[in-house]
Amino acid sequence: MKKLAFVFFMLLAAGWAFQACDDTKTYAEMLEEEDDAIERFIRNNDIKVISQSEFYAKDSMTDENEYVQLASGVYMNIVSKGVEDKTDTVKNNDEILVRFLEYNVLNEDTTLSNITEPRIVDSFRYTVTSTSIAGTFLEGYMLTYYGTAVPAGWLVPLAYVRNMAHVRLIVPSKMGHNTAMQSVIPYYYDIQKYQIW
């Protein structure tokens, strides 16, 4: 009986020791870390966050270092709405060419960019159904590194801009690509051109 009790207590102590060494984070801790990283990025870059009502009162525009936080959680800065022709907007099945810079907000590091690569362009097909919008990468760095699904955060600005628009985005993980969602990493994007092809 004493041996059995001793073995039981040894197993209990070993289990407790292993649990104390567990360095994995819970999903809630990762979300809190993501929120802190986004707040730090906003603070360090002197970004002014405006409400959606302020954004709509300005004809869906933002000033230079002003971002609107949308219901999706995406922060958006419209540098340029694009061409003057208000009918030159994205439509179902359009191909969109993109020049962008991707910055990991959590690790504070630029991860991808095709801005200085004249021969590399990222492109995706935009599709609309009665219940959703989606994008599928056709070529470029994003396709190579993250697969075919366009981050939902990239599609958000398309409702507010036209051909040749320039936007900046802070995309929380839930609106990002698969890697962002799996690792709970927010990304900043400077999308210098949404060219409708």
CATH, residue 79: 3.10.50.40
The DSSP string of 46-57 is: TPEEE-HHHHHH
In a domain, 7, yes or no: no
Domain that holds residue 130: 27-196
Which residue would you say has higher pLDDT here, 196 or 188?
188
Alpha helix positions (H), the chain: 2-20, 27-44, 52-57, 141-146, 152-155, 178-183
In a domain, 109, yes or no: yes
In a domain, 168, yes or no: yes
In a domain, 46, yes or no: yes
Each residue of 10-43: pLDDT tens digit? Answer: 655 655 555 555 568 898 999 999 999 999 999 9
Percent of the chain residues past pLDDT 90, beyond the cut: 74
- Alpha-carbon gap, residue 25 to 197, rounded angstroms: 43
In a domain, 106, yes or no: yes
In a domain, 21, yes or no: no
Closest CA to 82 of 162, 7, 172: 162
Query: What's the pLDDT at 197?
Result: 82
Q: How many domains does the chain have?
A: 1
In a domain, 10, yes or no: no
In a domain, 5, yes or no: no
Q: Are 138 and 125 in contact (CB under 8 A)?
A: yes
pLDDT, mean of residues 104-109? 93
Task: Say what the alpha-carbon torsion angle 185, 160, 128, 151 is, to the nearest 10 degrees.
Answer: -10
Each residue of 133-192: pLDDT tens digit? Answer: 999 999 999 999 999 999 999 999 999 999 999 999 999 999 999 999 999 999 999 999
